């Protein structure tokens, strides 16, 4: 009887029709859209609502920041800001043991305040940092793993595309999330630094002096260092919203590239930048629209309530439920991208957050750090794929080299979960909560 009832349950079929295309390696956006459309058609949920929900999911002012931040990231990478930041960090660490690895973590963390995207950070920095570490005697797989794992912090260090999506789905203040991401991002970076320093000492890795004076390197990197100051200072100073800040970042990057460094000096370069950003934006926004449609159907057929009830039925102890949520997110991060996970899983978790009275800002930070780890956990480890392509080494080698750094990130996640004030005291201090 129960089996018959299950076979007639649209919530059950929504999950099945979503899972089957994933197993067949169909792109995530198509899997989300296909499962939602079939369930709407089969159970007559109202085709007239499809177009409305399709556009309603993406026609939100905060989401306008996504294409702007993607474009800003491409502009700043092409403008030469990344290379100058790397040179500054190499000058600061000199030839200390593990210096270049520590500089790599620092640069990737800093670039998170420019890019907002993990794969984009790997692409922007990997071409500079991975060959540089290899020339200094570092194992190439370790170099690629260091860049790839630390680049996951791009979705934690503000401004973050992930926070924009989380804020949109959970109806949470994006400026509060941006403020909350600082300290946890630094905590994760410090744990990764401890791991790379331990490995570097064990293997005898050293940095190398760049030959430049600190003052010279700082002068050359000044406009790059000012990037997060302009963007985040404007947000917290009340000058502009996060969405407007994304547009400001585009114009700031163009100003630096065209007039200061003069690396963007032809129309063809601009066309290349716009084409690359359009492709990246199309992929992200297609996922957003299809995931929003899936989320609406899941709510309509009762999947959200059933999923929340199952988790709460397991235990009424918040720590047990929190452990289960993090395990689910880690497993989901191995298969899905972060944006899809927000739309698919966050609706299940909102009633649980309300039940235990969890702070939504803290929960957003915890969830995002978890998903940052997911970007480097196979089989769908997008950061590792980019790092492997850039370095020319196999996924198996880079995955093995990344394990200690992933473990360090998980330890940092535990600290962030146990001490919520790490996430909330900055937005409270700035009056964002």
Q: Would the pLDDT of 5 be above 50?
A: yes
Assess if residue 49 is contained within a domain: no
Q: What is the pLDDT of residue 271?
A: 93
Q: Would the pLDDT of 3 be above 60?
A: no
Assess if residue 44 is contained within a domain: no
Q: Which residue has the higher pLDDT, 134 or 404?
A: 404
pLDDT digits (tens, 9 = 90+) for 333-355: 877 778 888 888 888 888 899 98
Which of the 8 DSSP states describes residue 393? Answer: -
**398-409: b (≥16 Cβ within 10 Å) or e:** bbebbebbbebb
Average pLDDT of the chain to the nearest whole number: 83
Q: Would the pLDDT of 1 be above 50?
A: no
CB atoms within 10 A of CB 339: 25
Helices and strands per DSSP (H, E), number in the chain: 21, 0
Q: What is the pLDDT of residue 380?
A: 66
pLDDT digits (tens, 9 = 90+) for 272-316: 999 988 888 887 788 888 888 888 888 888 877 777 787 778 888
The widest CA-to-CA distance across the chain, in whole angstroms, is 77
DSSP calls for 205-264: -B----SS-HHHHHHHHHHHHHHHHHHHHHHHTTSS-HHHHHHHHHHHHHHIIIIIS---
Q: What is the pLDDT of residue 303?
A: 78
Q: Which of 99, 79, 332 is nearest to 221 (CA)?
A: 79
Q: What is the pLDDT of residue 212?
A: 65
Q: What is the pLDDT of residue 364?
A: 95
Least-confidence region, from 51-65, 162-176, 336-350: 51-65
Which of the 8 DSSP states describes residue 63? Answer: G
Q: Which of 10, 121, 7, 12 is nearest to 70 (CA)?
A: 121
Q: CA angle, corner 360, sides to 331 and 115, nearest 5?
A: 70
Assess if residue 417 is contained within a domain: yes
* Residues 187-193, mean pLDDT to the nearest whole number: 94
Q: What is the pLDDT of residue 48?
A: 67
User: Cα(425)–Cα(179) distance, rounded to whole angstroms?
Assistant: 9
Assess if residue 386 is contained within a domain: yes
Question: What's the domain range around 260?
Answer: 61-285+301-430
**328 contacts: CB under 8 Å, gap ≥ 6:** 345
Q: What is the pLDDT of residue 419?
A: 94
Q: What is the pLDDT of residue 4?
A: 56
Q: What is the pLDDT of residue 124?
A: 73
Assess if residue 352 is contained within a domain: yes
Q: Which residue has the higher pLDDT, 90 or 189?
A: 189
Domain total in the chain: 1
- Out of 3-12, 110-119, 161-170, 424-433, the most confident range is 161-170
- Of the chain, the percentage scoring pLDDT greater than 70 comes to 94
394: tokens are 């196999």
- Out of 23-27, 182-186, 213-217, 275-279, the most confident range is 182-186
Q: Which residue has the higher pLDDT, 191 or 214?
A: 191
Which of the 8 DSSP states describes residue 204? Answer: T
Assess if residue 275 is contained within a domain: yes
Assess if residue 45 is contained within a domain: no
**147 contacts: CB under 8 Å, gap ≥ 6:** 104, 108, 122, 125, 126, 129, 130, 387
Q: Which of 148, 146, 137, 123 is nearest to 390 (CA)?
A: 123
Q: CA angle, corner 404, sides to 403 and 409, nearest 5?
A: 95
Q: Would the pLDDT of 405 be above 90?
A: yes
pLDDT digits (tens, 9 = 90+) for 202-255: 988 876 655 567 778 788 888 888 887 888 788 777 788 878 888 888 899 899
* Residues 2-26, mean pLDDT to the nearest whole number: 78
Q: Would the pLDDT of 264 be above 80?
A: yes
Assess if residue 219 is contained within a domain: yes
**Is residue 375 within a helix (H) or strand (E), and if so which, with residue range?**
none
Which of the 8 DSSP states describes residue 315? Answer: -
């Amino acid at each position: 009887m129960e089996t018959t009832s299950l076979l007639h349950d649209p919530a059950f079929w929504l999950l099945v029709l979503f899972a089957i295309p994933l197993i067949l390696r169909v792109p995530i956006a198509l899997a989300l859209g296909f499962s939602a459309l079939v369930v709407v058609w089969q159970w007559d949920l109202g085709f007239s609502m499809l177009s409305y929900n399709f556009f309603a999911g993406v026609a939100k002012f905060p989401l306008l920041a996504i294409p702007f931040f993607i474009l800003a990231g491409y502009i700043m990478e092409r403008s030469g800001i990344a290379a100058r930041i790397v040179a500054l960090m190499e000058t600061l660490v000199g030839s200390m043991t593990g210096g270049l690895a520590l500089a790599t973590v620092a640069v990737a963390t800093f670039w998170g305040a420019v890019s907002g995207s993990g794969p984009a950070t790997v692409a922007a920095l990997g071409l500079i940092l991975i060959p540089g570490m290899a020339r200094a005697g570092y194992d190439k797989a370790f170099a690629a793993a260091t860049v790839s794992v630390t680049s996951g912090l791009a979705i934690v260090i503000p401004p973050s595309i992930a926070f924009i999506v989380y804020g949109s789905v959970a109806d949470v203040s994006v400026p509060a999330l941006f403020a909350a991401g600082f300290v946890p991002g630094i905590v994760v970076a410090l744990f990764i630094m401890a791991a790379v320093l331990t490995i570097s000492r064990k293997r005898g890795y050293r940095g190398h002096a760049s030959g430049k004076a600190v003052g010279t390197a700082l002068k050359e990197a000044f406009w790059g260092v000012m990037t997060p100051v302009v963007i985040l200072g404007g947000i917290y100073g009340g000058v502009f919203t996060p969405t407007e800040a994304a547009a400001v970042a585009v114009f700031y990057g163009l100003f630096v590239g065209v007039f200061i460094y003069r690396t963007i000096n032809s129309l063809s370069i601009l066309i290349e930048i716009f084409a690359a950003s359009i492709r990246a934006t199309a992929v992200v926004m297609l996922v957003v629209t299809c995931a929003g449609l899936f989320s609406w159907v899941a709510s309509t057929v009762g999947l959200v309530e059933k999923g929340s009830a199952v988790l709460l039925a397991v235990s009424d102890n918040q720590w047990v439920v929190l452990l289960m949520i993090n395990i689910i997110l880690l497993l989901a991060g191995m298969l899905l991208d972060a944006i899809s996970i927000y739309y698919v899983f966050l609706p299940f978790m909102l009633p649980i957050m309300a039940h235990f009275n969890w702070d939504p800002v803290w929960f957003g930070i915890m969830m995002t750090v978890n998903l940052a780890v997911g970007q480097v956990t196979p089989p769908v480890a997008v950061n590792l794929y980019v790092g492997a392509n850039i370095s020319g080494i196999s996924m198996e080698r880079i995955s093995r080299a990344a394990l200690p750094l992933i473990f360090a990130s998980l330890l940092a996640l535990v600290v962030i979960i146990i001490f919520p004030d790490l996430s909330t005291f900055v937005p409270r201090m700035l009056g964002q909560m």
